[in-house]
Structure 1
Amino acid sequence: MFQDFTICINTRFIFGRGAEEQVGREFAKLGVHKILIHHDDGSYLQTTGLLDAIRKSCDQAGVKYVELGGVQPNPRLQKVREGIELARREGVEGVLGIGGGSSIDSAKAIGLGLASDRDVWDYFTGIAEPQGTVPVGAVLTCPAAGSESSQVAVINNEDEHRKLLVSNPVVRPALAFMDPMLSESLPAFPTACGVVDMFSHICERYFTKDDTFGLIDRMSEGALRTLVAIGPKSVADGKNYEYRAQIMWASTIAQNNTLGVGREQDWSTHTIANELSALYDTPHGATLSIIMGSWMRYCINKSPRRFARYAQEVFGLHDETMDVTDLALRGVTATENFFTSMSMPISFADYSIPEDGIEQMLDNIDFYGPDQAIGSVVRLNRDDCRAIFQMALGHGVAADSSRSGGDATASKAE
Structure 2
Amino acid sequence: MNVNFAERAHNHNWKLDPIVRSLLDTDFYKLLMLQFIWKNFPAVHVTSETTNRTTAVRLAELISAPALFDQLEHVRQLKFRKSELIWLAGNTFYGTRSIFEPEFLEWLEKDFRLSDYEVTEKDGQFVLRFEGLWTEVTMWEIYGLALLSEMKTRTALSRLSELELDVLYARAKTRLWDKVEMLRKVPGVSISEFGTRRRHSFLWQEYVVEAMRAGLGKSLVGTSNTYLAYKHDLEAIGTNAHELPMALAALANTDEELHTSQYKVLELWQKSYGGELLIMLPDTFGTTQFLAGAPDWVADWTGQRCDSKDPFVAGDEYITWLEARGRDARRKRLIASDGLDAEDILNLHQYFKERIRFSAGWGTLLTNDFRECHPRREHDFDPISLVCKLTTVEGRPAVKLTDNAHKATGPAHEIARYRRVFGSVAVEGAAVLV
TM-score, length basis structure 1: 0.30
Q: Which has the higher contact order (CA 8 A, sep 6+)?
A: 2
Higher strand share: 2
TM-score, length basis structure 2: 0.29
